[in-house]
Copies of this chain bind each other. A is one copy, B any other.
Amino acid sequence: MKLPGSTEWLLHCAASLAQLKAGDTASAAQLAQYFDLPAAYLAKQLQALVKAGVLAATTGPRGGFRLARPASEITLLHVVEAVDGASSPYECREIRRQGRGALPAEDCRTPCVLAVKMAEAHRAWRDSLAATSLADIVATLPPSAPSRTRLRLTGTP
C-alpha cells in the first residue's frame, strides 16, 4: 500500500503556495527549482491539482499556480486525493459468494462485515487527513517562514 512519491511534492507545493500573498502565483518552474524536482513531471502533477479544484492556473507572462480557494478550506485530504484518487485501498471481490463455501444470495443482502471494517479504517484515515488544512500547516511554521518562502520561490518577499 503505497502513495505515489509525488504526494510529498504536491503537499509541499500546496503548503508553499499557501504562503503567497493573495493573487500571487508561482510557476511550475519556480516550484521545481524551489524543491529541486523534475519540472515537466511536476507540471503534470500540478495540473492534476488544478483538475481537482485545489489549485487554479493562470496564463500569461506572470501566470502560474495559486490556491483555488482559501488555505483554510483546503485540507491534506484534498491534496492527497487529487494525486492518488479517493478509492479505498481494499478491494472486496465478494469471494464469500464463490467456491464450496459460497453463501446463498439471501445471506449477502448486507455488505461483507470484513469489507465494512476495512471501509471504516479507510474512513478513519480520510477523517484524519481532512482535519488538517493548509492554513493549519502554515500556522505551525516559524513567523519568519512565509516571507522566506515567498522570496526564494518567487523572488519577492
CA distance A65 to B33 in the complex (A): 55
* Chain A residues at the B interface, C-beta cutoff of 8 Å: 1-3, 5, 7-9, 11-12, 15-16, 33-37, 76, 84, 89-93, 95-96, 98-102, 107, 113-114, 117-118, 120-129, 132, 137, 140-142, 149, 152-153
Complex A-B, nearest 9 residue pairs according to Cβ-Cβ distance, in ascending order:
A36-B99, A121-B128, A34-B101, A125-B125, A124-B128, A124-B124, A35-B99, A36-B98, A3-B89
The prevalent SS among residues of A at the interface is: helix
A91 contacts B8, CB within 8 Å?
yes
| Most chain B CB inside 10 Å of its own CB: which residue of A12, A95, A132 | A95
